């Protein structure tokens, strides 16, 4: 009985949902591109206006940072207005006019564009941005005298020449306070690190002492223990005052509220110290009258067009997706129906496409064919096992019954025959047990270094009597002294099966040769006979279980049909392989490949142990 697939898990529904999502994203992207195209000019203009506004703010902040009052700013405002083509107005915080490029009496915009306060806003460090902190152009009492500038200029030139001797190119720039600074001086050679250029001048020391005095009152209220000097560090490369003169170490946990209070006290004291040197806080107005900037918006007609296009795209997407989904799901449903049929029917599905579903259908058919073949092999194997076990058991039972009834006396010849039948039965059971262990992966190997020549000699000695009885010459040949990394018992078992098989198929006056040679990382063992050979159509099946080239051949002439499959499994357990080649009327060659002993061709003889 087929199970009903939930609607949300059906492939067609998932494909439909995915297509709708893709369509929605596509429509949204299309609409965005349309709006982006129509507003690109406006955005560029707005970006240009914003950059001009930041330039205006930076110019006026620089003026406030270098002048104690706004007197004389009218010329700067008028110049900026002419360059930008916009109205620029400055007022105090209570809207008292300071400077205006428009005619007197013109109303101001409803909101100020920015606040000009160089003690709290930095428009100098990063162009086009407003950062919190003191504008570096506010130097106040830190401005160097002419003598100090000249002295530092000479020191900067000396250091620049010293850097040049070590292959370091530098350039000299000047901070707003007049101090020269060398660029590219992160790695200072020891000969150039004299410390003269980064030593505070008398003017800076005086300003720092005044700052310390101003900060002591605030710090004393917070019970912060001060050293003799509040500022003990100096970084002359920092353009800002707050970063150039560094605080010393105090009895304050880092990151604590007291530490933040310490910094706040220093910042407040610095602003109070610099306040007399900057212009008062002012409001900056840009534009004119009470007009506001026009914002772009879509008209109702354009919105209707976008909605209509989106609906059309969605409808087409749903229709196309439904058709594609149906075609994709149809072969999958055929596969599902075939898989739900009884196993003994071995149903196959037609392969109508070459896409993923076609590949899946072909793989399903191959799997069905392999399952059918394995089922046939299983049935044949069960039949062969029953036949192999029935024959000796029938013989043993028959002779025991006639002996029990007194028909036949228990003569030694009869007991020998029963013993031989028991041995045949035991051999079949042992072979089946080895195959079962190999199939289950529990076949254990006890690896050790094995000399190939010695191994061949042992196998030949074990089968010498059988070879002489059959009138077959049994030979061994070894190329060099290859050593194997293998289980010697299992290797004798594998080679013994091959030799027994070769002796059964080699006529009198024939030859069976066991040879060994090294081949790269493997040792190749060959069992060659001069027997009747194997037909080409039978050669692929020689390692199948219970397979015999001549179906009429009995167990005594053809074996149990398990020897060669055991050989193949033993080689697989060793990490090797078993192969067979043959020519009818000439003979056969069975080849075993076994991993070679690591370290060379020779084994652990006396020379290797030294």
Element spanning 598, H or E: none
Question: For residue 554, is pLDDT > 70?
Answer: no
Q: For all residues of the chain together, what is the average pLDDT? A: 77
Cα distance between residue 30 and residue 37, in whole Å: 11
pLDDT digits (tens, 9 = 90+) for 239-273: 555 555 555 555 556 666 766 777 777 788 888 88
Are the beta carbons of 564 and 572 closer than 8 angstroms? no
H/E/C letters for each residue in 90-134? EECCCCCEEEECCCCCCCCCCCCCEEECCCCEECCCCCCCCEECC
Helices (H), 352-482: 356-404, 412-440, 452-462, 464-470
The mean pLDDT of 4-12, rounded to a whole number, is 66
CB within 8 A of 562, min separation 6: which ones? Answer: 428, 431, 432, 435, 545, 546
Q: Is the dihedral of CA 311, 315, 320, 325 positive or negative?
A: positive
Q: What is the pLDDT of residue 200?
A: 83
More confident call, 345 vs 286:
286
Q: Which one-letter DSSP state was computed for residue 256?
A: S
Specify the pTM. 0.42
Question: For residue 150, is pLDDT > 50?
Answer: yes
Are the beta carbons of 136 and 241 closer than 8 angstroms? yes
Q: How far is CA 551 from CA 31, 375, 466, 593, in A?
A: 79, 20, 24, 30
More confident call, 229 vs 287:
287
> Following DSSP, what letter does each residue of 381-395 receive, concatenated?
HHHHHHHHHHHHHHH
CB within 8 A of 64, min separation 6: which ones? Answer: 70, 116, 117, 118, 278, 279, 282
Q: How far is CA 300 from CA 306, 307, 311, 547, 569, in A?
A: 10, 10, 16, 85, 80
Are the beta carbons of 20 and 314 closer than 8 angstroms? yes
The mean pLDDT of 48-60, rounded to a whole number, is 81
Are the beta carbons of 528 and 515 closer than 8 angstroms? yes
Q: What is the pLDDT of residue 363?
A: 85
| Residue 42: CA count within 13 A, CB half-sphere | 10
Domain ranges for the chain, please list them: 140-277, 356-408, 444-599
Are the beta carbons of 510 and 530 closer than 8 angstroms? yes
For domain 444-599, the question of CATH label 3.30.565.10 is answered with yes
Cross-strand pairs, 580 = 590
Q: What is the pLDDT of residue 70?
A: 92
pLDDT digits (tens, 9 = 90+) for 449-471: 999 999 999 989 888 988 998 99
Selection from 263, 244, 333 nearest residue 11 by Cα = 333
What percent of the chain has a predicted confidence (pLDDT) above 90? 12
The mean pLDDT of 87-98, rounded to a whole number, is 89
């Amino acid at each position: 009985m087929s199970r009903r697939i939930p609607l949300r898990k059906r492939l067609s529904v998932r494909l439909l949902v995915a297509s709708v999502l893709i369509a929605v994203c596509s429509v949204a992207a299309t609409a965005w591109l349309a709006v982006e195209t129509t507003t690109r000019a406006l955005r560029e203009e707005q970006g240009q206006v914003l950059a001009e506004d930041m330039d205006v703010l930076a110019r006026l902040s620089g003026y406030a940072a270098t002048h104690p009052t706004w007197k004389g700013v009218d010329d700067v405002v008028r110049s900026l207005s002419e360059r930008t083509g916009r109205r620029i107005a400055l007022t105090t915080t209570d809207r008292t006019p300071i400077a205006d490029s428009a005619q007197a009496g013109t109303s101001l915009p409803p909101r100020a564009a920015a606040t000009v306060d160089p003690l709290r806003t930095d428009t100098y460090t990063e162009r086009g941005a407003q950062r919190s902190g003191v504008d570096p152009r506010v130097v106040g009492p830190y401005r160097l005298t002419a003598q100090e500038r000249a002295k530092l200029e000479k020191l900067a030139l000396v250091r620049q020449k010293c850097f040049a001797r070590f292959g370091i190119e530098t350039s000299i720039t000047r901070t707003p306070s007049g101090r020269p600074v060398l660029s590219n001086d992160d790695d200072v050679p020891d000969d150039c690190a004299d410390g003269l250029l980064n030593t505070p001048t008398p003017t800076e020391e005086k300003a720092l002492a005044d700052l310390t005095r101003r900060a002591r009152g605030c710090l004393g209220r917070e019970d912060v223990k001060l050293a003799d000097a509040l500022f003990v560090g100096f970084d002359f490369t920092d353009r800002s005052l707050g970063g150039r003169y560094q605080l010393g170490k105090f009895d304050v946990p880092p990151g604590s509220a007291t530490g933040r209070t310490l910094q706040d006290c220093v910042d407040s004291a610095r602003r109070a110290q610099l306040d007399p040197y900057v212009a008062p806080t002012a409001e900056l107005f840009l534009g004119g009258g009470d007009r506001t900037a026009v914002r772009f918006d879509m008209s109702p007609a354009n919105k209707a067009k976008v909605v209509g296009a989106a609906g059309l795209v969605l409808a087409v997407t749903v229709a196309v997706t439904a058709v594609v989904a149906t075609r994709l799901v149809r072969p999958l449903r055929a596969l599902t129906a075939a898989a739900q049929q009884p196993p003994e029917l071995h149903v196959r599905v037609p392969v109508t496409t070459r896409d993923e579903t076609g590949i899946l259908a072909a793989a399903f058919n191959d799997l069905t064919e392999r399952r059918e073949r394995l089922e046939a092999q299983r049935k044949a194997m069960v039949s062969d096992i029953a036949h192999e076990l029935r024959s000796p058991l029938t013989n043993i039972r028959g002779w025991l019954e006639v002996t029990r009834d007194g028909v036949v006396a228990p003569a030694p010849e009869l007991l020998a025959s029963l013993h031989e039948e028991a041995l045949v039965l035991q051999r079949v059971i042992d072979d089946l047990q080895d195959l079962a262990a190999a199939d289950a992966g529990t076949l254990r190997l006890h690896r050790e270094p094995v000399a190939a020549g010695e191994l061949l000699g042992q196998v030949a000695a074990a089968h010498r009597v059988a070879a002489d009885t059959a009138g077959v010459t049994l030979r061994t040949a070894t190329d060099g002294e290859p050593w194997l990394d293998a289980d010697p018992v299992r290797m004798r078992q594998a080679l013994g099966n091959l030799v027994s098989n070769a002796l059964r198929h080699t006529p009198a006056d024939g030859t069976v040769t066991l040879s060994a040679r090294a081949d790269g990382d493997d040792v190749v063992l060959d069992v060659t006979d001069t027997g009747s050979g194997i037909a080409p159509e039978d050669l692929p099946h020689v390692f199948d279980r219970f397979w015999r080239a001549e179906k009429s051949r009995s167990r005594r002439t053809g074996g149990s049909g398990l020897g060669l499959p055991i050989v193949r499994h033993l080689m697989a357990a060793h990490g090797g392989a078993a192969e067979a080649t043959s020519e009818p009327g000439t003979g056969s060659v069975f080849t075993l490949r076994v991993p070679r002993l690591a370290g060379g061709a020779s084994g652990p003889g006396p020379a290797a142990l030294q």
